[in-house]
Structure 1
Amino acid sequence: MFKGSIVALLTPMDKQGKICHRSVKTLIDYHVMHGTTAIVSLGTTGESVTLTNRERHDLVLLILDIADGRIPIIVGTGATSTAEALAYTQRLENLGVAACLTVTPYYNRPTQEGLYQHFKIISENTDLPQILYNIPSRTGVDLLPSTIQRLGHLKNIIGIKEATGDLSRVTQIQQLVKEDFMLLSGDDATALDFIKLGGHGVISVTANIAACKMAAIYTLAKSGNFSQAYLLNQQLMHIHHALFIESNPIPVKWAAERLGLIATNILRLPMTPLTNSSCAVMEKALQRAQLIPVQEGV
């Protein structure tokens, strides 16, 4: 099972807008060193929809090479069409990828039956473990607990990243799936409560810049020390919210560069740089989280 603090890894780019290999290595070494339990590449935070097919594949190979078995690699393989999602998932087989993260088809807004058939086709035609990804705010469609129940009985569908922020979903889904079905939060601000209700971990944006603290929160929660976990999580709460002051991954790339984790915070259009007013909010949040020193007079 995947559990604990899993990072939704950003995709660093150089000044020419190409994937920055040096920064990818820095990020992977950072997560291995600071307790992150797995890496998700090519998710929402990884700007997967702005990369070409060749770039996505090359990035996966690069990450696998740098990770060198030190940390499990999960890869986002979602697409608007079932055929495309299946083709990319199949392409990753036998490369050493631990699992795929498959988002609900965006823009199409399929019915619940369409969602079931989409994931069923992928499940029947690949051996790679699948983690479902439900993020209605991005895709325009909500994967309901009743559909998750049906999917949970299919071959190699092993869990879900539930990013609605609706904590009632934890209990609803738990009652409908097998005991070993993984429940992973996709919302940093509510992740600790999600885990307390029985979730297994979080696929985190915040972990990109606060890996050690996010890992510690899970370790404390797992040991039953929720009081200390909540104190540490409260320290990061400004970060959890500030990272979404503009569309993800705009703020997290700015913060990662500010902390020296990546060389530049370059994004690809239609994503644009963090505005000056939001930079000030992020700076304050990093100070409150004790990730950078508090400036004198602040």
Structure 2
Amino acid sequence: MFRGVFTALITPFNKDGSVDYGALRDLVEIQIAGGVNGLVPVGTTGESPTVTHEENVKIVEVVVDQAKGRVPVIAGTGSNCTDEAIQMTKRAKEIGADATLQVAPYYNKPNQEGFYRHFVTIAETCELPVIVYNIPGRTGKNVEPETILRLAGHPLIAGVKEASGSMAQVMEIIAKRPDGFAVLSGDDNLTLPIVALGGDGVVSVASNLVPGRMSAFVKALLEGRMEEARRRHYELLPLFKAIFIDTNPIPVKYAMTLLSSLSIQEVYRLPLCPLAEDKKRLVKTVLEDLGII
């Protein structure tokens, strides 16, 4: 199930700061038409830190309803409080989500045993497949390969979104994982090496903008067409760099305001704020050069 391109959906906001559910439904349709393999609402790219728990669940509900089973939905329902994560994940399961993305607990920085117990408790209490989200740059602590591999032995821990930036860590997990445990890149620009080494795909920010191109790129990788995959990687590399010129999802959300196919507002919730003008010019130039706008 967890193989290919899974779009880390942005959360569109109206000018008054409320969630724009109509634009979200349009975005889901564009993603599915573009051939992505799944949708990941309310992750980092979906501004999960600043949506309320009720909004979080409602966003998942809208995405599940709009997807109508055409692609799996991996609901971002993580928290650094295990009980909160369980509450939201239970609701996501009731709504019809296919799996849950669970970020490594942030700020309280548990030890490795704490990480293990956190993820297993959520999986066993909610009985929904868990994708572990390891992103130490945001959470302050790495989920070590030994812990990921220990978790991989649990039947309800389905995979990991690896955003540690450490290829040594990714290789160790891929080399030692059990069959059926998915390893997904958490960085668009590391998709090629991770999949080439045996990974299963990517949870992608860039596919918000170019779902078709990202799908073709990863499909070529998974099918072993490396020359084509390299060509597509280098074509998209300026985009991968541009959408991380500032804190995600600020650049990608600005870029999406430039698309004629969607009505996205350049609205964030504090402490996120709009992109500086010089960075806007850079992003716009990249989109023009790639024929995206």
Pick the TM interval, shorter chain: over 0.9
Instruction: Measure how far apart 1:85 and its partner are.
Output: 1.1
Q: Secondary structure at the match of 1:110?
A: coil
Question: Partner of 2:39 in structure 1?
Answer: 39
Distance 2:52 2:155 in 1: 30
Amino acid aligned to 1:219: K
Distance 2:76 2:273 in 1: 23
1:265 aligns with 2:263: no
* C-alpha contact (below 8 Å) 2:56/2:77 kept by paired residues: no
Instruction: Measure how far apart 1:281 and its partner are.
Output: 1.1
Instruction: Measure how far apart 1:95 and its partner are.
Output: 2.0
Distance 2:179 2:290 in 1: 35
| 1:177-256 → structure 2 map (5 Å cutoff) | 177-256=177-256
Distance 2:177 2:234 in 1: 31
Distance 2:92 2:264 in 1: 28
Moved more, 105-114 or 60-69: 60-69
1:77 aligns with 2:77: yes
Distance 2:196 2:156 in 1: 26
Give ranges in structure 2 of 5+ residues lacking alignment: none
Amino acid aligned to 2:265: T
Distance 2:237 2:285 in 1: 12
1:104 aligns with 2:107: no
Superposition TM-score, scaled by structure 1 size:
0.95
* C-alpha contact (below 8 Å) 2:200/2:222 kept by paired residues: no
Give ranges in structure 1 of 5+ residues lacking alignment: 293-298
Distance 1:33 1:90 in 2: 29
Amino acid aligned to 2:11: T
Distance 1:243 1:263 in 2: 16
Question: Partner of 2:132 in structure 1?
Answer: 132
Q: Secondary structure at the match of 1:183?
A: strand
Instruction: Measure how far apart 1:116 and its partner are.
Output: 1.0
* C-alpha contact (below 8 Å) 1:244/1:251 kept by paired residues: yes
Amino acid aligned to 1:154: H
Question: Partner of 1:285 in structure 2?
Answer: 286
Question: Partner of 1:276 in structure 2?
Answer: 277
Distance 2:275 2:173 in 1: 36
